[in-house]
Amino acid sequence: MPGFERFGDLEREELKDVLDNGVLMRYGFDGMRNGHWKAKALESELKNVLECDYAQLVSNGTSAVSVALASAGVGFGDEVIMPTFTFVASFEAILLLGAIPVLVDIEDTLGLDAKAVEAAVTSKTKAVMVVQMCGSMANMGALQAVCAKHNLLLIEDACQAIGGKYNSKPLGSIGDLGCFSFDFVKTVTCGEGGAVITNNKKYYTNADHFSDHGHDHEGNDRGAEMHPFLVYNFRISELHAAVGLAQIKRLPEFLEVQKTNYTILRDALSQIPEVTFRTVPDGGQESYSFLNFFLPDLETARKTIKGFKDNGVDVCWNYYDNNWHYVRKWNHLKDAKSLFPLSKEIKNSLDLLSKKTFTQSDHFIGRNISCLIKLSWTEAEVVERAKKMVEAVKSSI
């Protein structure tokens, strides 16, 4: 991760094919494109790789979450339970629909705590959105049980975890709907792009319509297509899909490199008694796109991050002080800062959020260090990096 570090001939060939053909839009212009359909081809590949019945490409991962929720009927006034540790896109996608994000604690998987989820369920709860952060997963069995007990949708945001598995099933394929991002820093990139996957035909049909102005995509005349309901535009282009088509074919290659680099770093850090690693649920297999480990306390984690920076160790973060990925500094959300008027229900919910503390999440995020695993590193660079990381951790304890 990220896949752009491995751009090569295959990506260039797919892009050239689109440019030579001249049709950059994924829909219509059938006579001009001479059978070239990059978005359709990528959706077909995604169905195979992610072992699902349906895949719908969209413009990005954020829109994938909104499309997934809307396709299953989540909207105004509905509560969607989500984790305190994720990217800001998670609550942005919920708010876009007029739904209410309800934040709850994470556990040592760095994913949703099923007990916290169950405690947050109300009569307005419609869905639970689990976010598979940093290449691994929450305790999916426990979350599935909670959703089944309360008849809730399970939306799986696997934007950072393509290639990971739980009980041999690809992450993203476990919930009612799964969401993926293919932006520039993901393991598989389109530059900008995303996807919704599901095994539910109704949800897929809704996603297909919702992401393209409501076009029903019946027949071969785009101008004559019907619009069964009010929707938006979240289309991907053929150029973006072409890049993703090349990249998805290379996913096994990317995962092998990630695992190799991850293992070198983890083996080195595991020799330090004070270092522990995030819990991966039984039956889980990471995508190895990030290495996440815990130190004894927040002070040690902060000192270690400084030590990393001083020694040229990049792309490692302690998210406790990060304003993009952790609730503690999401002040624009807590203070309800919006360019458009928010509903009374959302305002009331955000007011409660601004007064709420998340001691359990603080305990895990404060001690955690998350390190991106690059595809471009040589083995010698990874070994040298491991040495510097060990030195920095030891000097901080």
Supply the pLDDT for residue 220. Answer: 87
- Measure the CA dihedral 278/162/89/57, to 10°: -170
Q: At what angle do helices 38-50 and 9-21 cross, to 10 degrees?
A: 140
Residues 271-312 have pLDDT tens digits of: 999 999 999 999 999 999 999 999 999 999 999 999 999 999
CATH code matching the domain that covers 252-396, chosen among 3.10.20.30, 3.30.70.1060, 3.60.15.10, 3.90.1150.10? 3.90.1150.10
- For 137-153, letters b (16+ CB in 10 Å) and e give bbbbebbbebbeeeebb
In tens, the pLDDT along 156-188 reads 999 999 999 999 999 999 999 999 999 999 999
Alpha carbon distances (Å) from 53 to 8, 50, 197, 200: 30, 9, 8, 8
- Pick among 3.30.1280.10, 3.30.70.270, 3.40.640.10, 3.40.190.10: CATH of 3-250: 3.40.640.10
Instruction: Say if CB 84 and CB 361 are below 8 A apart.
Output: yes
Summarize pLDDT for 240-264 with one digit per residue, the tens: 999 999 999 999 999 999 999 999 9
Residues 6 or more apart whose Cβ sits within 8 Å of residue 54: 47, 197, 198, 199, 200, 201, 203, 204, 207
- pTM of the shown model: 0.97
Q: What is the mean pLDDT of residues 148-161?
A: 98
Domain extents in the chain: 3-250, 252-396
318 in Cβ contact with 368 (< 8 Å) = yes
Could you check whether 3-250 and 252-396 share the same CATH topology?
A: no
* 392 vs 387: CA distance, rounded Å: 9
Go through 157-196 and write b for each residue having 16 or more CB atoms within 10 A of its CB, e for each that does not: bbbbbbbbbbeeebbbbbbbbbbbbbbeebbbbbbbbbbb
CA 227 to centroid of chain Cα atoms: 30
